[in-house]
A and B are shown apart, each in its own frame.
Chain A
Amino acid sequence: MSTATQALPFWRKYLFATDHKVIGIQFLFTSLVMLLVGGLLAMLIRWQLGWPGQPLGFMEKIAPAGMPGGVMVPEFYNMLFTMHGSIMIFFAIIPLLVGVFGNYLIPLKIGAGDMAFPRLNMISFWLVPPAIAIVCTGFFLEGGAAASGWTAYAPLSTILGPGQVCWIVGVIVLGTSSIMGGLNYITTVINLRAPGLSFFRLPLSIWALFITAIITVMATPVLASALILLLCDSTLGTSFFLPAGLIIDGVAQAHSGGQVLLWQHLFWFYSHPAVYIMILPAMGIASEILPVFARKPLFGYHSMVYAIMGIAVLGFLVWAHHMFASGMNPTLGTSFMLSTMVIAVPSAIKTFNWLGTLWRGAIRLTTPMLHALAFVSMFVIGGLTGIFIAATPVDLYLHDTYFIVGHLHYVLFGGSLFGIFAGITFWFPKMFGRMLNETLGKLHFTLTFLGFNAVMFPMFILGIAGMPRRIYDYRQYTHLAHVGEMNQFMSVAAFLLGLAQLLFIANFFWSLFRGRKAGDNPWQATTLEWATSSPPPHGNFTTPPTVYRGPYEYSVPGRAQDWWPQNVPS
């Protein structure tokens, strides 16, 4: 099977490829570029928050309308945080976790030659660049990019002009890509597992990606339909989310019969499960890496799997905890508080199992291990701060303050992004056949870990002090007159955090060409992807593997080697 494909012309092999590994790497480069773009937008946000209204000379040339004379205008600030959030969530975190690791790992780790639907897979990738282009086109249109937050609450999102319409259309396109990918993953995991690879012998990363795909397929269509309704409201004059009697800019609107809160219900019905789309694969990656470098079986494999399932089911029942202050019936608040408290339990189980995995291990502190440990540690902070805002009365105070911004960054950066760094540094040798530089890797990890905490932890304090989020200039409020210095500290830390990423980029490209050759199994790991060459050939395995045991057989007593690969007969 491989020889025929090796002869493919360049554009079939690397551009319009159907090989899941090439598609995974295409997702990797695309979403890392978007991660960089989203990060740069965050730097501008931090500039404004640290030194409100101070000019940033060079920006006048780059964004003359948004920063005339280098001084940011409020509209531009709103665009920055909207696009930062949208790009990070839709074009960086989700594609990195689901697009990269889903595509690259699923066939390899289940012993398959490729995905069930390779061509669908190719289309799912090739919908992403247009989606990015459509959303980012807003920056170049009159009125600028979308500026109603990544949540696009109606009616604001229906009155903001062409940039916002681009945002809606782009996210619909991206959603289509997600649905295609999800269907493909589900089918592949169910049908293409190697002989002997029962469901309860699957690695945790595959369990996580499989359940994530199910969530994607169930939730994304709801978002897509809500977006289509929103698009109709903003361009065709319909009134799905617009009630009678609106007066906008002094002009009475002709809408009638719509419900403003309906948008929020539909949006969060997708977007809360989407939070789990952004954390379950990272949990899977951590569960995968901890046993390898603790040289121990994963503690509580079955409860880890059931915890993922529990999170997936409960994840559909907590959406309105984003709406405690929205004016919905307070009784609904009670039920959503209960479900939200309950969903913390499976997360706690997972955390304790990770600790149990480390217990009496023989821990090797490699770069991927450090990132995985940071994932566990930071996710704990993200989870625990969630309890504050799950408690409805406390949320009435903390909702829409920087406490929320801190909480979400501990989940999505401290959790998801450290999981992503763990995954990239762990599987880089498999993807490219060369090792990353450990010294650079550890330096990057240390600076990122310190920088991240220095930026994000003060956000909790600011939120507790009552600083609202999405505020262009907070200084006028008397209760915030004294938070300027803390914001400046955070901004300096943010710039250092940004600079530290240059180390990652340098390491990535240097190692791509100059790194030490990896060999098939540099980490002495047990799962199937390490049973083939690095990088694997087209078709993945020269002889299809058979599986004889679970995925985490490390330090088995009586065996000379402390790892026992899944595919080695007893």
Chain B
Amino acid sequence: MRVWLPERISTYAPAIDRLFYIVLAITGTAFVLVQGTLLYFLVRYRGGAGRRATYTHGNTLVEIIWTAVPAAILIVLAFYSQRVWSYVRGTPPATDLQVQILAEQFAWNIRYAGPDGRFDTSDDITTINQLHLPVDEPVLLHLKSKDVIHSFFVPQFRVKQDAVPGITTRLWVQVTKAGTYDIACAELCGLGHYRMRGFLTAEPRDTFAQWLQAAELEQHPPPAPEPTAGEPGAESAPTSASAPSAPAPESQPASPTPQELLHP
């Protein structure tokens, strides 16, 4: 098996890979040109008996050219990167599903909001290290940490996001391919850092809904006679895992969920 980029399973991964290959092409060209010139000069201008070097202190025109060309390339590259950056890290698309991930030494606590659409209420559905996501649907992840900094890294997404104590960081993703993948912790978090491994199961919408429903039934078995007090919950369909009231990030601060403000 080739040691190279792993497969791509997020909607933005192709854009990030394209940028990677553009940078590889630019730097690869520069690498060959510079090292080739260096080697050529070493062979061509090797000192010997009677050879005398050319006396020169420089050439302004040449120096201006080799300043301007890299500068232009780098600035164009910066603008191109910015387009990809705002796609990945800018305003997330509207999502129906939000998931809270609370990192701790050395596990990922996953939390789905449950029928009421709010986190940290009694009907939440929680798992440890098992993150299920539907494919072809944007999802917003809220990352928090109990103790030290961790970093949520799914190599196949091509992104990572730190989970920082005291603040909530966000990452949106739209998975494009069903399958099981590893979640790695990418920020040193102590002696068990290396084994802070989570599992991502990306599955079709229906399968995901069935899994969520099963998990809900298992964690909150319906009490025999009457529905417990709680929020309205007119419909108990598990597919509405998130409240329609909290789809876009702009409404976050006003949302009743007890999450900290993300980026002041």
Contact = CB atoms under 8 A, between A and B. Distances in A.
A409 interface: no
Contacts of A57: none
A361 B195 contact: no
Contact of A479 (B19, B20, B55, B155): B155
A525 to B, nearest CB: 14
Contacts of A153: 148-149, 187-188
Majority SS of interface residues in chain B? Answer: mixed
Nearest to A149: B188
Contact of B34 (A298, A380, A462): A380
Contact of A243 (B16, B53, B165): B165
Contacts, number: 294
Given A247-B146, A387-B77, A400-B186, A325 B38 contact: no
A203 to B, nearest CB: 15
Contacts of A361: 41, 45, 47, 53-54
Interface string A333-369: 1100110011011001101110110111111110000
A381 B3 CA distance: 20
B211 interface: no
Contacts of B45: 294, 358-363
A562 B148 contact: no
A327 B149 CA distance: 11
Interface stretch (A28-36, A278-286, A552-560): A552-560
Contacts of A298: 57
A327 B4 contact: no
Contact of B147 (A155, A399, A478): A155
Interface string A396-408: 1101110000000
B58 A397 contact: no
Interface stretch (A170-178, A258-266, A422-430, A432-440): A258-266
Nearest to A349: B67
Given A349-B66, A394-B16, A396-B16, A482 B1 contact: yes
Contacts of A362: 45-48, 51-53
Interface in A293-344: 294-303, 325-327, 329-330, 333-334, 337-338, 341-342, 344
Nearest to B84: A393
Contacts of B148: 153, 155-156, 159, 248
Contacts of B160: 325, 396-397, 399-400
B226 interface: no
A349 B162 CA distance: 35
Contacts of A295: 47, 52-53
B186 to A, nearest CB: 4
Contact of B74 (A334, A387, A557): A387
Interface residues of B, number: 90
Given A260-B165, A361-B47, A472-B194, A156 B74 contact: no
A384 B194 contact: no
Contacts of A554: 53, 55
B88 interface: yes
A190 interface: no
A351 B4 CA distance: 29
A476 B52 contact: no
Given A472-B193, A483-B3, A397 B159 contact: yes
A164 B170 CA distance: 31
Interface stretch (A124-132, A224-232, A463-471): A463-471
B63 interface: yes
A555 B63 CA distance: 22
A244 interface: yes
Contacts of B139: none
A461 B74 contact: no
Contact of B70 (A344, A358, A462): A344
Interface stretch (B24-32, B117-125, B202-210): B24-32
Contacts of A299: 56-58
A327 B150 CA distance: 11
A251 to B, nearest CB: 10
Contacts of A297: 55-57
Given A243-B165, A392-B81, A397-B160, A330 B58 contact: no
A75 to B, nearest CB: 5
Most buried by A among B23, B184, B197: B184
A98 interface: no
B42 A373 contact: yes
Most buried by B among A156, A466, A483: A466
A391 B56 contact: no
Contacts of B166: 243-246, 258-260
A380 B26 contact: no
B191 A74 contact: yes
B256 interface: no
Interface string A57-88: 00000000000000001110010000000000
Contacts of B51: 362
B108 interface: no
A486 interface: yes
A345 B105 CA distance: 42
Interface string B70-96: 110011011001101110111000000
A42 B56 CA distance: 44
A558 to B, nearest CB: 10
Interface string B173-184: 000000001101
Most buried by A among B67, B167, B188: B188
Nearest to A558: B55
Given A341-B77, A344-B70, A356 B58 contact: yes
Give the top 10 A-B pairs by smallest Cβ distance, nearest first. A243-B166, A466-B155, A362-B47, A327-B169, A360-B54, A330-B89, A384-B27, A300-B58, A472-B194, A555-B53
15 contacts: A244-B166, A303-B58, A337-B81, A352-B63, A361-B47, A363-B46, A380-B30, A387-B77, A388-B24, A391-B77, A393-B15, A396-B161, A464-B3, A476-B194, A483-B3
Interface of B: 1, 3-6, 12, 15-16, 19-20, 23-24, 26-27, 30-31, 34-35, 37-38, 41-42, 45-48, 51-59, 62-63, 66-67, 70-71, 74-75, 77-78, 81-82, 84-86, 88-90, 104-105, 143, 146-149, 151, 153, 155-156, 158-162, 164-167, 169, 181-182, 184-195, 197, 263
Interface of A: 73-75, 78, 147-149, 153, 155-156, 159, 242-249, 258-261, 294-303, 325-327, 329-330, 333-334, 337-338, 341-342, 344-345, 348-349, 351-353, 355-356, 358-365, 373, 376-377, 380-381, 384-385, 387-388, 391-394, 396-397, 399-401, 461-462, 464-466, 468, 470-474, 476-479, 482-483, 486, 554-557, 562
Given A153-B187, A380-B35, 5 more contacts: A295-B53, A326-B162, A361-B53, A483-B3, A555-B52
